Structure 1
């Protein structure tokens, strides 16, 4: 049994590094004190760093993205230090990172008690990211082998594409972390439905953490709505609706943790002893050619 924490992360204006560091430290300590072994924050949670920029710069989309880049080494050091000190796995959300080729990518790091375990880039960009943020997709999927089990990260929109999660599942991943950032209720439900579908199809678990709240000072994070959740296959020993845990409010006015316990061995067992075998039967249909489209006579 492992204990997971997914944050409904309220976008607050934190105008100094010290204020931000205290904020993130207190938040992580709250989850760790409740016994959480893995902490998940949402997509673009790192953009809260832009609150430290001059008002004019943080109010400019491209200016705010460029302005946080010098802060990233200290931010990574802070996150790594928290994971080590608290003895937890910390996925502190994602943020735009300027790579050596001069292009930005939406990147999520995973830190553990042993340090920095690596990162996963978002692979499929939304229209807004492509057309306004000018953020490029990353390449490839990463499997993180941890003491809790094998983890994968699919950032927000990536959860709406079945083959990404299936590739991670086939590589042995039992739990997908789904940091998300959505500015409408419909957007939140698209990601949530995707997360539940990926759990069903692959007979794995998916943990989602969203941004919430209004931030008129940030053109990137101005409106946020979402609910944290832990999704599993609806099968023997699991909730009938596949929701193992979900935060009570859709958009609280402060950051809140959803704390859930998950038995990954029980989830794995469904692949052999479940009511259905979606993980096994889905590729069988392709192999048998039953999905071929034939012209009507």
Structure 2
């Protein structure tokens, strides 16, 4: 088992992010600068945007914006410029940013890629591993394994952070592998077009928090974008979850449902939540139950996916 590294508490800003019909690049840049500036102004050290929030960039290409498949290329073509802007904002504000995930062309495939930025502007990424039916059957987006990618754990100044993109959060072995490698926080950016979908991801996120005795953070897209064939309806609420443990961790009681922060469903907003890695160490060492420790005892625990540790500072 990988050693656990304690860091200081920090404020996370979790986006409930609307998909807008943007007029041009200037409108996108102004929107992103406004969102990042607001969260940084509140003292957030980690800003998390949702899955496929970058699909609003398809609006900038009038010829391709309404075509389901052509929109993939329209967004992917802009990613170098998008990433340069995120890196600049991370440096300007001294924050970590998980950018809204986007389709990214990788050889003959498109993958769903979440790019993660450190305050230095350095960037790495996590590609989605498990494809939904829409991605696989209608959109033609490929899993990370199609291009040789896999799970990554990011060693940051805030601690060790893993990412399970939307549907990935519904598969226990992925989060378990990250926790076993030392993750104390797992980010679950999501994009769901119904409350059923939102609740599937949320239930998965809360289950992963329980199993691994760690924080799991969910950031959704919200609102209607009828111009977009890919993300036309978006439902959900941002949340920070932990294990519903009756024993105080780091001297702080847990809510009985494990919900540490929750936004107003459907509203475009930031949701702020304090993440204290010391609580994870307490839960795992002396919780009411010890699911993190006892995982390996269950019948059929089996072999976990490999995790690549990436230093992102």
Which of 20, 23, 28 is the equivalent residue of 2:36? Answer: 28
In the alignment, structure 1 segments of 5+ residues that lack a partner are 290-297
Question: What is the match of residue 190 of structure 1?
Answer: 200
User: What's the TM-score once normalised by structure 2's chain length?
Assistant: 0.89
TM-aligned CA deviation for residue 115 of structure 1: 1.9
Normalised to the residue count of structure 1, the TM-score between the two structures is 0.93
CA contact (8 A) 2:87 2:123 kept: no
1:175 aligned partner: 185
- Provide the rounded CA distance (Å) in 2 between the counterparts of 1:121 and 1:229: 22
Per-residue Cα deviation, 1:215-247 (whole angstroms, up to 9, x for no partner): 011001100000000000111221111000001
TM-superposed deviation, 1:288: 9.5
Secondary structure (helix, strand or coil) at the match of 1:22 reads: helix
Residue aligning to 1:17: 25
2:73 to 66, 80, 90: 66
1:240 pairs with 246, 249, 256, which one? 256
Counterpart mapping for 1:1-297 below 5 A:
1-54=9-62, 56-100=63-107, 102-138=108-144, 139-235=149-245, 236=247, 237-247=253-263, 249-252=264-267, 255-286=268-299
Distance (whole Å) between structure 2 residues aligned to residue 67 and residue 7 of structure 1: 24
The alignment partner of 1:132 has SS state of helix
Over 3 Å counting, the alpha-carbon distance change for 1:75 and 1:37 in structure 2 is same
CA offset digits 1:98-126 (Å, max 9, x no partner)? 012x1000000100112223100000000
Cα RMSD over matched residues?
1.3
Q: Is the 8 A contact 2:19 2:221 kept in 1?
A: yes
Does structure 2 conserve the Cα–Cα contact (< 8 Å) formed by 1:7 and 1:256?
Answer: yes
CA distance in 2, matches of 1:174, 1:267: 6
Q: Which runs of 5+ in 2 are unaligned?
A: 1-8, 248-252, 303-313
- Per-residue CA deviations over 1:30-88 (Å, capped at 9, x if unaligned) read 0000010000000001111111011x420111111112222111100001111111100
Structure 1 stretches of 4+ moved >4 Å: none
In 2, Cα distance between equivalents of 1:285 and 1:62: 43
